Structure 1
Amino acid sequence: NSNHFDSILCALRRESKIAACIACFHAHARTRSCPPPPPLNHAEVWFVKVVCTLCIRFASSLNIFHSDYFRKNLTPSIAFNVIRCINCNCSNRKLAFNFFQFTRINLKLIHSFATYNLLLRSLCQMGLQDSAKLVFEDMRIDGYSPDSSVFGFLISSFANAGRFDIAKGLLVQAHSNDNVEISSYVYNNLLSLLVKRNRVDEAVAFFRDHVLSWQHCRVDTCTFNIVIRGLCRVGEVDKAFEFFNDMGSFSCFPDVVTYNTLINGLCRVGEVDRGYELLREIQSGNGLSPDVVTYTSMISGYCKLGNMEVAVNIFDEMISSGTKPNSVTFNVLIDGFGKNGDMIS
């Protein structure tokens, strides 16, 4: 009740703590950037400051808020601003989460969608993905349907943190249960991270078994390039060509990156002549042109085979086409001539 709240304030005043806490709160606020809070009236602004101060002062135990006064006056809008201010002005990374949990469980406060969105993002940015997962589950329990923005952020956050099983589970949930359309950037990022972590089989299986079958999942050329790159990296070039041949079925068309990836993959496994055929395919008038990476990959392939004559011919062709060689191109040629004992060239 109000008497209970007044007694708390009086006790703090007697200790001269509340003034110091609020002063410290304002001083700290000036040292860190924070989005401007939504408009509140004067009484609400003061109430937010008091609640923030009490949170910081009694961070180890929030039972101070276990009263009818706070149950009556702590609205979703107030709670949103309190959580935002705590995030911006407190070094205790879990305080905002603890306040959210306490008010939700003990005060039966139904937080707003904006609060859930804010807390999910701030927790992930602080590396507290496990806490963010709990907030996400509470969000659904409280009747909120996460939108594509929330799902996309969470999936990318868990993927970037190496929590691939959770990231994949969220992506499956978004498409299968919630029918939410996720940006291609999100699953491209997930697949790319899996490939970078040498989990190519996992990336390929997820792409084949899930991504390609989802109605609202619009794969693009970049998606195929990631999978093709992963397969070429582990020497599975023939499997890479299977996806290359399927691109048209999904209204995707290979670009120069696709061809460069396949050419490099072929040259790495010694199938340089097949790579040369792809070079000629690029030059056949399909709107693409080989670049320095294309030519350098082919030159490198023939240098590794010791066929310096063809390597030099491709280099000359590169110059004639107006494509400028880079340091990698020259290093490849120098290394090739050196291994062949042709130090003069």
Structure 2
Amino acid sequence: MEEVLQQLKQDTRVVPEEIIFCNVLKFYGRARLHERALQLFDEIPQYRCQRTVRSFNSLLNSLFKSEKFDEMKEVYLSMEKYARPDACTYNILIKACCESGCLDNARKLFDEMRSKGVKPNALTFGTLMRGLCLGLKVNEAFKLKTDMVRLYGFLPAAKTYKMMIKGLCKIGELTLALMLKEEMVGNNMKLDSTVYSSLINTHFKVGRQEDAVALFEEMDLHGCAPDTVTYNVMINGFCKVKDFDKAYRILENMAEKGCKRDVFTYNTLIGRLCREGKWSEAKDLFEDMPRQGCKPDVVSYRLLFDGLCGGGQFKEATLILDEMIFKGYVPFSASTHNLVAGLCQKGKMKLLLLVLNILAKGNAIDQGTWLIAISKVYQDDKLSSASKLLDSLVL
């Protein structure tokens, strides 16, 4: 590409159009080569081509892709020598401010463009509203939406509605979030699982379990199929209120609807079951994971191991620990200390030595574990056993 550009510069018979340079600047942005983008922009006149707002915008966008926000500001400040900023210019700058967390600067740019007679478009509003929602300034976004419709006649895009609903859910404004959902229905916008997942999750958080279930059932009426995230939200909600029967029914419903369970689905249930002392059920779910095509991860192992240790299920915990270390996963030190201390208190020396050997194989044994084991044995005057532990430490 750069060889072709060099030929274009030397061949005076050809006058390249500005769109060529806009495209090259875009490619440099994708490759995060901001210095080359700046160099090419400066050299455009050498190609017998005049720079307009289009190439300026392409450069700004290239710098945005490279996350060079300071350079964007410098380019913008020099821009009016050559071209007048348009809505696209401000959209790129506002997006950069939102991405870098400078929401006040984004609002100033929005006010500036209007004061200069540059009319904002739907993308301008959408970009600014998205930034405000991500910054949890949803009430400001809501006011901006009102101006967008009333003063400019723009209807927010579906993705803007979704972002606002998600933001409103985060700050607990359920009434407004539900109102926006109804607006989407009234405007014939297709609702998707992300909208419902946010709403259902928030209803569970504030203790409105029945409303959450109603929303889940409503999805079918709008032709919106729950996805894995939606099912996980439902399972997590029922687990939090200790309604495991309903959580299991949702799990079965996933299979019936052909929705694949993921590791988060299982981890949610395993973790909650362990907290309630339902270790046998948790272990059954853990063993069911591979049969369902879901591989347990380090969180799965740690949740089950922690639960078994906390419940005094030392033999089962040791078996899980052995498998865990074999897979290359390391337990939390606190859980290991609980297991070792429990075995010492129960006087299960044979199992204790097995646990220490397993931990040593995975290089997962720390000084604290040894101190617990040796001190407990020494306190019980079992000096020969303490000697064995010290021998193991040396080995």
Instruction: Bin the TM-score by the shorter chain.
Output: 0.5 to 0.7
- SS of the equivalent of 1:344 reads helix
Instruction: Provide the C-alpha distance between the structure 1 equivalents of 2:136 and 2:218, rounded to a whole number of angstroms.
Output: 29
Query: Which residue of 2 is the match for residue 17 of structure 1?
Result: none
Contact residue 277 and residue 307 of structure 2 kept, 8 A: yes
Q: 2:251 aligns with which of 270, 275, 279?
A: 279
Instruction: Provide the C-alpha distance between the structure 2 equivalents of 1:95 and 1:322, rounded to a whole number of angstroms.
Output: 53
Q: Is 1:222 aligned to 2:194, yes or no?
A: yes
Instruction: Provide the C-alpha distance between the structure 2 equivalents of 1:296 and 1:230, rounded to a whole number of angstroms.
Output: 20
Contact residue 69 and residue 96 of structure 2 kept, 8 A: no
Shift of 1:298: 2.4
Contact residue 174 and residue 180 of structure 1 kept, 8 A: yes
Query: Which residue of 2 is the match for residue 257 of structure 1?
Result: 229
Q: 1:244 aligns with which of 216, 229, 236?
A: 216
Query: Which residue of 1 is the match for residue 288 of structure 2?
Result: 317
Query: Which residue of 2 is the match for residue 292 of structure 1?
Result: 263
Shift of 1:226: 1.9
Q: Is 1:156 aligned to 2:130, yes or no?
A: yes
Instruction: Provide the C-alpha distance between the structure 2 equivalents of 1:38 and 1:151, rounded to a whole number of angstroms.
Output: 32
Shift of 1:139: 4.2
Contact residue 123 and residue 132 of structure 1 kept, 8 A: yes
CA displacement 1:193-234 (0-9 Å, x = unmatched):
455xx51x21x2222112331316443111211222233344
Instruction: Provide the C-alpha distance between the structure 2 equivalents of 1:110 and 1:142, rounded to a whole number of angstroms.
Output: 10
CA displacement 1:225-247 (0-9 Å, x = unmatched):
12222333444433322221222
Instruction: Provide the C-alpha distance between the structure 2 equivalents of 1:237 and 1:298, rounded to a whole number of angstroms.
Output: 18
For residue 138 of structure 2, what is the amino acid of its counterpart?
Answer: F
Instruction: Provide the C-alpha distance between the structure 2 equivalents of 1:312 and 1:115, rounded to a whole number of angstroms.
Output: 57
Instruction: Provide the C-alpha distance between the structure 1 equivalents of 2:99 and 2:300, rounded to a whole number of angstroms.
Output: 41
Q: What TM-score results when the alignment is normalised by the length of structure 2? A: 0.55
Q: How many residues matched?
A: 275
Q: Is 1:188 aligned to 2:162, yes or no?
A: yes
Q: Structure 1: any 5+ residue segments left out of the alignment?
A: 1-29, 49-76, 104-108
Instruction: Provide the C-alpha distance between the structure 1 equivalents of 2:278 and 2:97, rounded to a whole number of angstroms.
Output: 56
Q: Is 1:333 aligned to 2:304, yes or no?
A: yes
CA RMSD of aligned residues (A): 4.3
Contact residue 181 and residue 217 of structure 1 kept, 8 A: no
Q: Is 1:146 aligned to 2:146, yes or no?
A: no
Shift of 1:262: 0.9
Instruction: Provide the C-alpha distance between the structure 1 equivalents of 2:105 and 2:271, rounded to a whole number of angstroms.
Output: 49
Contact residue 263 and residue 294 of structure 2 kept, 8 A: yes
Q: Is 1:165 aligned to 2:139, yes or no?
A: yes
CA displacement 1:239-260 (0-9 Å, x = unmatched):
3222212222333111121111
Query: Which residue of 2 is the match for residue 23 of structure 1?
Result: none
* Structural mapping, 1:109-124, within 5 Å: 112-121=86-95, 123-124=97-98
Shift of 1:39: 11
Q: Is 1:209 aligned to 2:179, yes or no?
A: yes
For residue 165 of structure 1, what is the amino acid of its counterpart?
Answer: N
Q: What TM-score results when the alignment is normalised by the length of structure 1? A: 0.62
Against the structure 1 CA distance between its residues 134 and 298, is the aligned structure 2 distance closer, same or farther, given a 3 Å change threshold?
closer
For residue 169 of structure 1, what is the amino acid of its counterpart?
Answer: K
Against the structure 1 CA distance between its residues 161 and 332, is the aligned structure 2 distance closer, same or farther, given a 3 Å change threshold?
closer
For residue 310 of structure 1, what is the amino acid of its counterpart?
Answer: E
Of the two structures, which has the highest relative contact order with CA contacts closer than 8 Å and spacing of 6 or more?
1
Contact residue 228 and residue 259 of structure 2 kept, 8 A: yes
Instruction: Provide the C-alpha distance between the structure 2 equivalents of 1:151 and 1:38, rounded to a whole number of angstroms.
Output: 32
Contact residue 263 and residue 298 of structure 1 kept, 8 A: yes
